[in-house]
Amino acid sequence: MADAVIGSNGEKVIVFYTFKDSKEFANFKEGTKKLISGSILLSSVFIVFVDEEAQKLELPDSARFNYLAKKDFNLLGQVKDKALKEKLKANYDVLLVFDHIDDKYVKLINKTKASKRIVSSMTEGINFDIRLTSSSIRIEQIASFAKETLEKIQS
């Protein structure tokens, strides 16, 4: 089996995730490292939704991770940050969605262009090609399950 399923062919990846707490976020980061190859991980875009602006202070500064709170959207529901807006307009090879996503972010995810859309979320309304369903609620286990499932599909 391959060491990494996604990104091994130079694929451009965007990942959406909802922040709950710092411990789970650390598990999310570790789980996605196992799912996405190291070289593409550095150039991948991670969008992390937070409930409150103050939660952004708990999260590590990183060029890869973009944190969005309600205040980061204008009245039309568009992202205010111009650089992030450009990242969201890009075409991606793979779009991944982890965990439950609030309904207010579904439109943003659906507008993001991607060749493969893989969802491990039961959030309604998200367009997807593959929905992975796992009995686990721990993000690192879901990422591991996603990796194993995609390896089976690709072999």
CATH number at residue 98: 3.40.50
> Does 104 fall in a domain?
yes
pLDDT for 1 equals: 42
> Does 23 fall in a domain?
yes
36-40, 53-57, 104-108, 109-113: least confidently modelled range: 36-40
Q: Which among 135, 138, 132 is positioned nearest to 151, based on CA atoms?
A: 132
Residues with Cβ within 8 Å of 31's Cβ and at least 6 positions away in sequence, in order, are 139, 140, 141, 142, 143, 144
Q: Is the dihedral of CA 43, 112, 121, 133 positive or negative?
A: negative
> Does 8 fall in a domain?
no
> Does 3 fall in a domain?
no
Structural domain including 143 reads 13-154
> Does 46 fall in a domain?
yes
pLDDT for 96 equals: 86
Task: Tell me the β-bridge partners of 60.
Answer: none
C-alpha 24/C-alpha 38 separation (Å) is: 21
Mean pLDDT of the chain: 80
> Does 62 fall in a domain?
yes
pLDDT for 50 equals: 93
Residue 6 has pLDDT above 80, yes or no: no
- pLDDT tens per residue across span 35-78: 776 655 555 888 999 988 888 888 888 778 899 998 999 988 88
> Does 79 fall in a domain?
yes
State how many domains the chain has. Answer: 1
- pLDDT tens per residue across span 75-100: 888 899 999 999 999 999 888 888 78
Residue 9 has pLDDT above 70, yes or no: no
Query: pTM higher than 0.85 for the full model?
Result: no
> Does 144 fall in a domain?
yes
